[in-house]
A and B are shown apart, each in its own frame.
Chain A
């Protein structure tokens, strides 16, 4: 598949197949095509050539949940947390879709699972970054998707809340496939099952252990943050 914007190719001859229940970390430099890849999978962007084949797993577009990079939603807009979570259910409804008791109950379960139940009636500008992040995650999963696409979900919060968020994702991964764009290879390697390095091209790396060597080979000039006992950052340049 080749895709991009106007006359500008971002992804060229990319091939990848996604296994059910995988948890793929999508990494790569800025402008490398990570978000573009998600948009093509979501059907928001038509590729120049090639296509996304949903048929092997019988996946429907309405079964893909999406959490965009720093949501565009205006926090001063008059919606409540519950409203936003309910919007994830629109995937399974037409333009005249209504939200009744059944839908509210379902949204309540999702909010409960993500620790949002006490905030259901709050406006978005009353929430912290971490709470907002969980609201948008709840929106992405409330439609019970089989595939969950996350674009830099950690940009909402500071690092101290990240582990909690990834724990939630791990739970969700038991019932859905996850593809997550991130720039922080070191942190997510604890949680993901595999990596996809996207930099114009795409290399799939079927383990969560990824070394500097691998990154260099895939042409992914990104910084690898080492965790644990080694408190320093190793920078890698594109060769």
Chain B
């Protein structure tokens, strides 16, 4: 009986976790892939790790520490790139390394119980708390409302910022809000997907869908769906094989991406064939 209840809550947690992770990653991922901010997102992720370490050291919830670091680095990078006063990729590289270093130093300095570093680096559904799930659920709703309400404005700012300035004076506000939400989405997914793996959840589903459509809204919806299926498959495979969940999900995603590329190639080939026949 007890075992059943345990299994039931575990499955519920996994399903909800997968759902919220795929929604947040679908929206954030479409934004960063289309705006070519993948490397920036990697920087935000690794900078957050500094916050996790600091959280442990201070004895507060590490996710709160990660959120402070994640948002700080997201806004900082957006500010630096807007000012155009620094090589952006170099700044990201520095932030990336510093975040990891700070995180490891603080965890080293934390007396007594050493937290399971591996679970933060590679992710584990077992470490996800109910609080994490609620936070992820809230951020999912916020991201859906934000994207639905301001869909056109967000689309056009991402596409051609200088033109967008001719019709709205709030371009910078929207950019900070967007990158802030990306930062929060990353931070809240760290426990499940892990610092090292999270970038795959953001980039691969959007890249798979962009092989087939150029409609932004469709990319968000379908990449969320691909994310959900991939996470589910990853969970199942890792459950039966005892492989680490995060790494399994990434492998599944890359496999799906390879299959999608194959299908795309076949479609292109057959179109060329048809055109040859017609000519």
Chain A residues close to B by CB (< 8 Å)? 42, 44, 62, 64, 66, 68, 71-74, 77-80, 83-84, 86-87, 90-91, 93, 95-99, 123, 139
Contacts and interface: CB of A to CB of B under 8 A. Distances in A.
Interface in B119-178: 149-153, 155-156, 158-168, 170, 174
The winner among B162, B168, B174, B214 for most chain A CB atoms within 10 A is: B214
Given A97-B153, A99-B152, A79 B167 contact: no
B163 A139 contact: yes
A83 B166 contact: no
23 contacts: A42-B166, A44-B165, A72-B162, A73-B159, A77-B34, A77-B159, A78-B213, A78-B215, A78-B216, A79-B155, A79-B214, A83-B216, A84-B159, A87-B152, A87-B167, A90-B164, A90-B168, A91-B166, A91-B167, A93-B167, A95-B170, A95-B174, A97-B152
A74 B161 CA distance: 10
Contacts of B151: 98
A95 B168 contact: yes
Chain B facing A: main interface SS: helix
B163 to A, nearest CB: 6
Contact of B214 (A44, A80, A91): A80
B272 to A, nearest CB: 15
4 A-B pairs closest in CB distance: A73-B160, A123-B214, A90-B167, A87-B156
B168 A78 contact: no
A20 to B, nearest CB: 21
B163 A66 contact: yes
Contact of A98 (B152, B160, B214): B152
B123 to A, nearest CB: 28
Interface residues on B, range: 20 to 34
B170 A79 contact: no
Given A78-B215, A78-B219, A83-B155, A72 B167 contact: no
A144 to B, nearest CB: 14
A90 B165 contact: no
Contacts of B210: 78
Contacts of B163: 66, 68, 71-73, 87, 139
A209 B214 CA distance: 46
The winner among A44, A78, A99, A123 for most chain B CB atoms within 10 A is: A78
The winner among A62, A74, A95, A123 for most chain B CB atoms within 10 A is: A95
A70 B8 CA distance: 58
Given A42-B166, A79-B214, A91-B167, A74 B153 contact: no
Interface string B23-42: 00000001000111000000
Interface string B202-215: 00000000100111
Contacts of B166: 42, 44, 64, 66, 91
Nearest to A67: B163
Nearest to B209: A78
A213 to B, nearest CB: 37
Contact of B159 (A68, A87, A91, A99): A87
A91 B164 CA distance: 9
A116 B53 CA distance: 55
The winner among A64, A71, A79, A99 for most chain B CB atoms within 10 A is: A79
A68 B155 contact: no
